[in-house]
Amino acid sequence: MELSAREIATYLNGEVEGNPDVKVSGFARIEQATQDTLCFLANPKYEEYLYKTGAGIAIVNKSFTLRQQAPSSCTIVWVDDAYRGIATLLDIYATLNAVRQSGREYPSRVSWRAKVGKGCYIGAFSYISKGAKVGNNVKIFPHVYIGNNATVGDNCILYPGVTIYAGCHVGSGCILHAGAVIGSDGFGFAPDENKNYKKIPQIGNVTLEDDVEIGANTCIDRATMGSTTIHRGVKLDNLVHIAHNVEVGKNTVMAALTGIAGSTKIGEGCMFGGQSGVIGHLTIGNNVSLTAKAGVSSNIKDGETHMGFPNIPVGAYRRSHVVFKNLPDLQKKVFQLEQEIRALKGNAK
């Protein structure tokens, strides 16, 4: 794919500064770009690289006021949101360069009692069980397993090694990356009188609504009863764990190594940082943000940002941290005051 600065500005409703006819054929980071590549600047932290970049074109936020002139070899396309702009161009690039796979590779097995829609690709060593239903234009890469009576909607992509257990439902337009497991048993055990743990059967399922993306090696457990539900537009990073009977509201995103314990309800539009964790049976409101490594042990209201373990609102945490990091100095002052008090008491006697 080759695009000129003028074409990019048209796609992104931007303004060109420099040569509108310069063309690029690829993408690169701003500090590594060459004349035939496109870069972007959305974070002012990287502004210094713009003044020495070798890129042919740079997409830059209109809100930035540059400290100096960019190199004449680089044409700038000013846009409202450079990060969103580069995402749009990458989407166009990916669509134009997508591998048009279709048909069925062997060996693979599709039960005669399964239903597979039109335009699907089924990779080698994949297994589609009886009663399963697969929609149209689904890409099933090698070594994918789809269990009994599971359903997969239209236009989904299941990358190698994805496992969808029996009875689970995947909506349309979903992407499941390599090694994702949908519908493994929830962690349910009950101790008997001898303190031996007896397994509690997990007879529910998992439901993914439309446009959900699941990262590599992420596991979503089936419900004990009912459904573990991931609502429309949710994006989960790699190595995320969602336990049984959890509900995740639409358009919520979770970074890698996040863990949500059983029966917790997560609201819409939330953002969870990496390695954050939530204990079971809590209610997290809409538009809640958790910073990296936050440990949540209590309910959170709509719109709040929490950090730390146990979690507290971000403002309170920062005030507490100021005190915490000064504890060594405070300790010295306390010792000095104790010595002065003893001295005063001695003089008084």
- How confident is the prediction along the chain (349 residues), in pLDDT tens digits per residue? 789 999 999 999 999 999 999 999 999 999 999 999 999 999 999 999 999 999 999 999 999 988 888 888 899 999 999 999 999 999 888 877 766 788 999 999 999 999 999 999 999 999 999 999 999 999 999 999 999 999 999 999 999 999 999 999 999 999 999 999 999 999 999 999 999 999 999 999 999 999 999 999 999 999 999 999 999 999 999 999 999 999 999 999 999 999 999 999 999 999 999 999 999 999 999 999 999 999 999 999 999 999 999 999 999 988 888 888 888 898 999 999 999 898 888 887 6
- Can you list the pairs that 61-70 forms with residues at least 24 positions away whose Cβ atoms lie under 8 Å? 62/15
Selected from 3.40.50.720, 3.30.420.140, 3.10.20.740, 3.40.1390.10, the CATH number assigned to the domain covering 3-96 reads 3.40.1390.10
Residue 241 bears catalytic tag: no
Determine the pLDDT at residue 245: 98
SS3 (DSSP) at 26: strand
Give the Cα separation of 43 and 235 in Å (integer): 23
Confirm or reject CATH 2.160.10.10 for domain 103-315, answering yes or no.
yes
Q: What is the DSSP string of 204-269?
A: -EEEE-TT-EE-TT-EEEPPSSSEEEE-TT-EE-TT-EE-TT-EE-TT-EE-TT-EE-TT-EE-TT
SS3 (DSSP) at 284: strand
The one-letter code for the residue type at 207 is T
Determine the pLDDT at residue 106: 94
Q: Which residues contact 160 (CB under 8 A, 6 or more apart)?
A: 123, 141, 142, 143, 144, 178, 179
Q: Show me where the domains of the chain are located.
A: 3-96, 103-315, 320-348
Q: What is the DSSP string of 135-165?
A: -TT-EE-TT-EE-TT-EE-TT-EE-TT-EE-
Determine the pLDDT at residue 36: 95
Contact 268, 288 (CB under 8 A): no
Determine the pLDDT at residue 71: 85
Q: Point out the catalytic residue in the list 143, 231, 244, 306.
A: 244
Give the Cα separation of 11 and 263 in Å (integer): 44
